[in-house]
Amino acid sequence: MKDCIIIGGGPAGLTAAIYLTRFHLDVALFDNGSSRAALIPCTHNHAGYPGGISGRDLLARMGEQAQTFGLHRRPLTVTAIEQSGDAFTVHAGEERFETRTILLATGVVNNRPKMDDALHDAALAAGKLRYCPICDGYEVTDRRVGVIGTGQHGMKEALFLRGYTRDVTLIAPDAAHMLDPDCAAALDAAGVTRVDGPCGGYAIEGDRLAVDTASGRMAFDSVYPALGSHIRSELALAAGARGTDDGCIVTDEHQRTTLPGLYAAGDVVRGLDQISHAMGQAGVAATTIRNDLAERRPLRR
């Protein structure tokens, strides 16, 4: 019987692992190796790294730190969680694990534009494809930027990026834009160019990422997909925890879900979708887990 099983080894799960192991709790972490942070070529907004750090390096450092304190970590995909009394069974395929509490830190997956994986990864590594204006909008200051998206979401992303550059084009992913008059007026007022789709034929051409649109082929220093994301909250929702309308897990201010003993932190909970926020939530979750366990039985050396 573990004190806590952490599902997810991104910034949230690893931060919680550092805290929980240092609370002298018996902790395991299961992760299937698809952290969004691993996609970050070099983050420049994460505090403490003046020259920036790649997502993979940051994860490796955090993993090493957690292992220093005795974290038991396994590369597993958790397939179900089941509550029984005041404990849980965690299923990973044929394997079963018993635990008093669970921290879900499974994150989200961005919906990608239609391009093959090799091109996607090359464009991402070169900063020609970007997913997070809060993180790296600074890097496109005064550059030529395309946003693939439409509706409220596309509009908001384009207007956010307008804070960095005058040259923003919002391109509808599939066909004509679906923008209500208010959205269209806001884009016009900000000087954001609107172009209909469908988008396709992505290729790196010179220093730019080029794309076919209804108005012909266009090329940008950076393209931001604003196509939404898949929230990896299924395990918690299937176990009976409440979710928001958009699929995030509902928690109280201490990161407790509506299912006693199940906690959640990071992108899977509604928030800023940032490393710092994921880490902050995880610190809160871990301390709450420790204190809730201490209410069940004294934690003493």
As measured in angstroms, the least distance from the Cβ of 248 to ligand FAD is: 11
Q: How far is CA 88 from CA 28, 179, 250, in A?
A: 13, 46, 19
Scanning the chain, the segments in alpha helix (DSSP H) are 11-22, 55-68, 117-125, 133-136, 151-162, 181-190, 234-239, 275-296
Residues in the site for ligand FAD, rule: CB under 6 A? 7-13, 30-37, 39-40, 43, 45-46, 77-78, 105-107, 110, 124, 131-132, 135-136, 232, 266-267, 273-276, 278
* CA separation for the pair 226, 113 (Å, rounded): 9
Cβ proximity to ligand FAD, 187 vs 268, nearer residue: 268
Residue 296: CB minimum distance to ligand FAD, A: 26
CB distance 240 to 81 below 8 Å: no
DSSP state of 215: T
Beta bridge partners of 269: 249
Cross-strand bridge partners of residue 198: none
- DSSP letter for 195, please: E
Q: Whole-number minimum distance, CB 267 to ligand FAD, in Å?
A: 4
User: Quick check: 162 and 194 in contact, CB under 8 A?
Assistant: no
Please state the closest distance from residue 61 (CB atom) to ligand FAD, in A: 14
Nearest CB to ligand FAD, comparing residues 32 and 193: 32
CB nearer ligand FAD, residue 179 or residue 220 = 220
Nearer to ligand FAD among residue 194 and residue 281 (C-beta): 281
Nearer of residues 132 and 214 to ligand FAD, judged by Cβ: 132
Least distance in Å: CB of 274 to ligand FAD? 4
